[in-house]
Amino acid sequence: MNDKGKIVTGLVIFAALVSFPFWYNLGKAAPPPEVVLTDKAKAAKECVLPKDEIRTEHMQLLDVWRDTQVRDGQTVYINAKGKSYIMSLSNTCLDCHSNYKDFCDRCHVYASVDPYCFDCHIDNPKETK
């Protein structure tokens, strides 16, 4: 006597679980989304940091901005090129990139990140100085 039937059932379930992503996406290619730049962003030509850096490090820059702003009271950030920016998500970043749905959200949704920044900063786009 052996338990081949039960074991094969278990193996089929296991194989189905392991290959689940293949079934789930069956035939659907999912290329990364294109972000839409507003006219204002296009006109500015460059962001606070070079494109590659801002793409991967914007969240850390914002974290540093928040701490510097709140703890040290500094409000101006000067980048490597010597250009100065107000350290503010709402007034600097979202000023150019005012199209949240077609800019921020595109990549965030694709990569399944849900930053809590926008819990406040999207319903209240303009901070009062």
Partner 1 sequence: MNVKYMYSFLAVIVLFLIAYVGTEAVGLQWLFGVLIPYAALLVFLVGFIRKVMGWARSAVPFRIPTTCGQQRTLPWIRPNSIDNPSTAGGVVVRMFLEIVAFRSLFRNTRMTTKPDGRIAYQWEIFLWLGALAFHYAFAVVVLRHLRFFLEPVPAPIKLLETVDAFFQFGLPVVYLSGVVLLIAVAYLALRRVFIPMVRYISLANDFFPLFLIFGIAFTGILMRYFSKVDILSIKALTMGLVSFSFPDTAVLKGIDGLFYGHLFFVSVLLAYFPFSKLMHLGGIFLSPTRNLPNDTRMHRHVNPWNYPVHVHTYQEYEDDFREKMVEAGLPVDKPLAPAEAEKE
Binding site for partner 1 (CB under 8 A): 1-4, 7-8, 10-11, 14-15, 18-19, 21-22, 24-33, 52, 55-57, 59-60, 62-63, 107, 109-116
Nearer to partner 1, 26 or 80 (CB): 26
| Cα gap 93→20, rounded to integer Å | 39
- 8 A C-beta contact, residue 93 and residue 19: no
Nearer to partner 1, 44 or 64 (CB): 64
CB of 28 to partner 1, least distance (A): 6
Nearer to partner 1, 19 or 84 (CB): 19
CB of 20 to partner 1, least distance (A): 8
CB of 45 to partner 1, least distance (A): 21
Phi-psi region at 36: left, alpha or beta (left = phi > 0; alpha = psi -120 to 50): beta
Degrees to nearest 5, angle at CA 44 with 41 and 45: 90
- 8 A C-beta contact, residue 112 and residue 56: no
CB of 8 to partner 1, least distance (A): 7
| Cα gap 54→47, rounded to integer Å | 8
- The residue to which tokens 């009271």 are assigned: 73
Nearer to partner 1, 7 or 40 (CB): 7
